[in-house]
């Protein structure tokens, strides 16, 4: 089993405040694992914030309960992983493929950016929860 | 995120200090729109203290660029930090939003 060197977990209503809370969690996480190089910290933080923002902006509640955002991040030797979840959410609608917006478009770049930042992105839906699993192989040089 | 601006000789400098994310992006758009409405259509966004930008923040900059051009001017960015530079490059928007090393250099040749 892979050794977890550091982790952070967040769960709360999918609001603007949650984005800043998750970002603060990540900033504190990197202090625990200074051997993770700046490039890995920068790219992984960006991917996680993009994914969490996508949930806050687009996830719709499946029923009366509001959508909650969950972010679970683990740092293992050579691997950074995040599970970014939308609880109480409808399945995502529309294409899950990255868009190719024109250069004057003001939105639509998020998914392509996430894919460029991490090694793998997978999607799971279970018990009314949408989860994006982001993994980045860490170089730790 | 904190916004401020200062009108210089031939342009207005807008400072955006903090994280330019989905929370602050609409505020940047609103702030720059107000600066343009105040009579400055040549804008330099000073990103020296913008440690983070996501695709929402990028979208806001593009919106501000379009607003400045619609007003007959232009918008340029300066003092870009590594994370912001990475997002610009990965989205190929570094070709649209040219980054200048300093605020002073952004409009120095025209």
- At A27, the pLDDT band (50, 70, 90 cuts) reads very high
pLDDT of residue A93: 67
* Phi, psi dihedrals of residue A49, rounded to the nearest 5°: -65, -40
A-chain CB neighbours of B60 within 8 Å are 106
Region A103-111 average pLDDT: 85
Residue for token digits 């980045």? A136
pLDDT of residue A121: 94
pLDDT of residue A106: 83
Tell whether A67 is within 8 A of chain B (Cβ).
Answer: no
Region B76-96 average pLDDT: 96
Domain that holds residue B67: 1-98
| A–B CB contacts, 8 A cutoff, strictly below | 67
CATH number of the domain at B19, please: 3.30.750.24
pLDDT of residue A104: 84
B110 within some domain: no
CA distance A127 to chain B (A): 28
B103 within some domain: no
pLDDT of residue A1: 59
Does the structure show a pLDDT above 70 at A23? yes
> Per the structure block, which two tokens stand in for A105?
């478009």
Write down the mean pLDDT value for chain B. Answer: 96
Closest C-alpha among A57, A44, A13 to residue A133: A44
B108 within some domain: no
> Per the structure block, which two tokens stand in for A52?
């969490």
A-chain CB neighbours of B54 within 8 Å are 46, 49-50, 53, 110, 113
B25 within some domain: yes
Is the ipTM higher than 0.85? The answer is yes
Name the residue of chain B whose CA is nearest to A17's CA.
B23
Percent of chain B's residues with pLDDT above 90: 96
Region A101-120 average pLDDT: 88
Percent of chain A's residues with pLDDT above 90: 79
DSSP A14-61: SSHHHHHHHHHHHHHHHHH-TTS-HHHHHHHHHHHHHHHHHHHHH--B
B48 within some domain: yes
Q: Residue B68: which residues within 8 A CB-CB, separation 6 or more?
A: B32, B36, B41, B42, B43, B74, B75
The residue ranking higher by pLDDT, A51 or A96, is A51
Q: Do B52 and A46 touch (CB under 8 A)?
A: yes
Helix axis angle for B55-70 and A38-58, nearest 10°, is: 80
pLDDT of residue B21: 97
Helix/strand/coil for B80:
coil
pLDDT of residue A105: 84
Residue A104 CB burial class (10 angstroms; 0-12, 13-18, ≥19): exposed
Whole-structure pTM value: 0.94
Structural domain count, chain B: 1
Q: Residue B93: which residues within 8 A CB-CB, separation 6 or more?
A: A103, B58, B62, B87
Segment A66-103, tens digit of pLDDT: 999 999 999 999 999 999 999 999 998 665 677 778 88
Region A39-50 average pLDDT: 97
B50 within some domain: yes
């Amino acid at each position: 089993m892979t050794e977890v060197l550091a982790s952070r977990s967040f769960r709360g209503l999918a609001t603007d405040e949650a984005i800043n809370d998750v970002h603060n969690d990540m900033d504190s996480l990197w202090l625990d694992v200074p051997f993770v190089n700046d490039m890995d910290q920068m790219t992984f933080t960006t991917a996680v914030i993009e994914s969490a923002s996508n949930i806050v902006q687009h996830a719709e509640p499946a029923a009366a309960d509001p959508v909650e955002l969950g972010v679970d991040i683990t740092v293992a030797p050579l691997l950074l992983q995040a599970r970014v979840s939308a609880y109480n959410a409808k399945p995502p609608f529309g294409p899950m493929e990255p868009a190719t917006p024109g250069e004057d478009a003001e939105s639509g770049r998020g998914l392509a950016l996430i894919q460029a930042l991490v090694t793998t992105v997978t999607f799971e839906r279970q018990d009314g929860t949408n989860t994006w699993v982001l993994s980045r192989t860490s170089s730790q040089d | 995120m904190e916004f401020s601006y200062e009108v210089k000789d031939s342009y207005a400098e807008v400072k955006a200090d903090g994280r330019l994310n989905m929370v602050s992006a609409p505020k940047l758009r609103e702030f720059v729109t107000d600066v343009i409405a105040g009579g400055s259509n040549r804008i330099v966004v000073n990103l020296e203290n913008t440690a983070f930008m996501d695709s929402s923040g990028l979208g806001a900059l593009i919106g501000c660029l379009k607003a400045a051009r619609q007003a007959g001017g232009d918008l340029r960015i300066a003092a870009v930090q590594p994370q912001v530079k990475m997002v610009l490059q990965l989205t190929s928007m570094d070709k649209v939003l040219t980054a200048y090393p300093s605020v002073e250099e952004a409009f120095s040749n025209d």
